[in-house]
């Protein structure tokens, strides 16, 4: 028989998931993204919330991570290897502009707060990187996968995620006091893994699709789900974004295989994605937010404007209409998983980084989807 502790976990987990279903129903009825409601629910039932749940943190964390992977994998299914290659070639100027416009305010804010150069660089990373997971969810919720601005947004997201393959190893080595040789070796390994995954996805995608294809839905589901986890895990082992690896697995699958996978994986994606956003809110202690909110608001307004400008300029370069330009900028607003990872890396180094990052991310993760809905 289940132990009392296990039964309590099942009950709390069941209540949490049923609650998320109610929130999704409300969001659908009102016609907007469910993400803000999931985040607020996490705040209410997390550390220091109104009614904290004692769920297994390890279990929920794994579910949340799988949610991000499946969101990006499904996003990758929407695009072919040829489309990815074309968009990446066009993305270089946009990616550089994105870095300058959105990394700089974070670094400047850190310096103004009296932080060290390294802590300021970490805050720059928090303000720079858009949440691929939130963008993927918003596009799915609002039916924007094939909008004219979506390839523009995806190219910037892929550029950012690839840039993280350089950024995270460098700051990781700096935080532990590693030398130049160790930093160079770590970065070289990360870049090598990214190139390898890109090469396999672009060169052998069709062969992988034929290999995974089968008349049994069970075989297809297990093969693709296992492939996403395996490739993402191997990438993460070499300090490369697991999310970008999952995205590339989606790119690699093509033809009828992609269509069948999309149908089979969609329910899993929705379940684990809801877990991700709920867990994100659970991890934020509401008591830490009030003191950080004023700075987070100022930083959010500034970098919200710079992200909006980034998307609009990139869309203008592709000669899209004004409405598509605004949507592109609005889609880039949310910060999320990478910002929280960066804040976690530097939490022991600069104590004020974690609450400021949490308040900042929460504000933009809630406001971003609302703005996208308004520009639809």
The 3-state DSSP composition of the chain as helix, strand, coil percent (nearest 5) reads: 80, 0, 20
**Does residue 289 register a pLDDT over 70?**
yes
At residue 99, the pLDDT reads 94
pTM: 0.76
When pLDDT is cut at 50, 70 and 90, the band that residue 55 belongs to is low
pLDDT (mean) for 295-312: 95
How many CA within 13 A on the CB side of residue 54? 6
Which run of H or E residues covers position 315?
A: helix 289-317
Average pLDDT for the chain: 81
Structural domains in the chain? Answer: 4-374 (1.20.1530.20)
User: Cα(204)–Cα(210) distance, rounded to whole angstroms?
Assistant: 10
**Does residue 127 register a pLDDT over 90?**
yes
pLDDT (mean) for 317-333: 90
User: Cα(128)–Cα(99) distance, rounded to whole angstroms?
Assistant: 6
Beta carbons within 10 angstroms of residue 260's beta carbon: 18
When pLDDT is cut at 50, 70 and 90, the band that residue 366 belongs to is confident
Please return the burial class of 19, using the count of CB atoms within 10 Å of its CB with bins 0-12, 13-18 and 19+: middle
Q: Highest-confidence range of 50-59, 60-69, 174-183, by mean pLDDT?
A: 60-69
Tokens describing residue 231: 């490739």
**Does residue 1 register a pLDDT over 70?**
no
User: Cα(353)–Cα(342) distance, rounded to whole angstroms?
Assistant: 9
pLDDT per residue as tens digits for the range 185-243: 777 776 777 677 677 766 777 777 777 777 888 888 888 899 889 988 887 787 666 77
pLDDT (mean) for 327-354: 83
């Amino acid at each position: 028989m289940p132990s009392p502790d296990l039964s309590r976990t099942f009950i709390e987990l069941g209540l949490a998931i049923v609650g998320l279903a109610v929130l999704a129903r409300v969001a659908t009825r009102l016609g907007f993204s469910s993400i803000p409601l999931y985040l607020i629910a996490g705040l209410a039932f997390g550390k220091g919330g109104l009614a904290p749940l004692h769920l297994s943190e390890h279990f929920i964390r794994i579910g949340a991570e799988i949610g991000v992977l499946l969101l990006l994998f499904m996003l990758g299914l929407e695009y072919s290897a040829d489309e990815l290659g074309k968009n990446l070639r066009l993305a270089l100027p946009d990616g550089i502009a994105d870095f300058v416009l959105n990394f700089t305010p974070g670094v400047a804010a850190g310096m103004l707060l009296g932080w060290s150069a390294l802590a300021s660089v970490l805050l720059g990373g928090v303000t720079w990187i858009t949440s691929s997971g939130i963008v993927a969810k918003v596009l799915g919720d609002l039916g924007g996968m094939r909008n004219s601005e979506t390839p523009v947004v995806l190219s910037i997201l892929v550029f950012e995620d690839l840039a993280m393959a350089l950024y995270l190893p460098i700051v990781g080595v700096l935080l532990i006091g590693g030398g130049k040789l160790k930093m160079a070796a770590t970065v070289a390994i990360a870049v090598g893994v990214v190139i390898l995954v890109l090469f396999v996805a672009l060169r052998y995608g069709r062969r992988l699709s034929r290999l995974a294809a089968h008349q049994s839905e069970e075989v297809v589901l297990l093969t693709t789900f296992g492939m996403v986890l395996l490739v993402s895990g191997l990438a993460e082992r070499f300090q490369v974004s697991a999310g970008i690896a999952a995205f590339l697995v989606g790119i690699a699958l093509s033809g009828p295989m992609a269509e069948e996978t999309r149908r089979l994986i969609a329910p899993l994606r929705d379940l684990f994605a809801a877990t991700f956003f709920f867990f994100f809110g659970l991890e934020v202690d509401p008591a830490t937010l009030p003191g950080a909110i004023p700075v987070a608001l100022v930083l959010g307004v500034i970098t919200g404007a710079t992200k909006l400008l980034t998307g609009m300029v990139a869309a203008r370069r592709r000669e899209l209409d004004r409405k598509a330009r605004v949507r592109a900028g609005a889609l880039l607003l949310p910060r999320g998983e990478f910002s929280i990872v960066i804040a976690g890396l530097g939490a022991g180094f600069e104590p004020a980084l974690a609450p400021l990052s949490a308040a900042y991310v929460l504000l933009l993760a809630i406001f971003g989807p609302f703005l996208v809905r308004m520009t639809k």
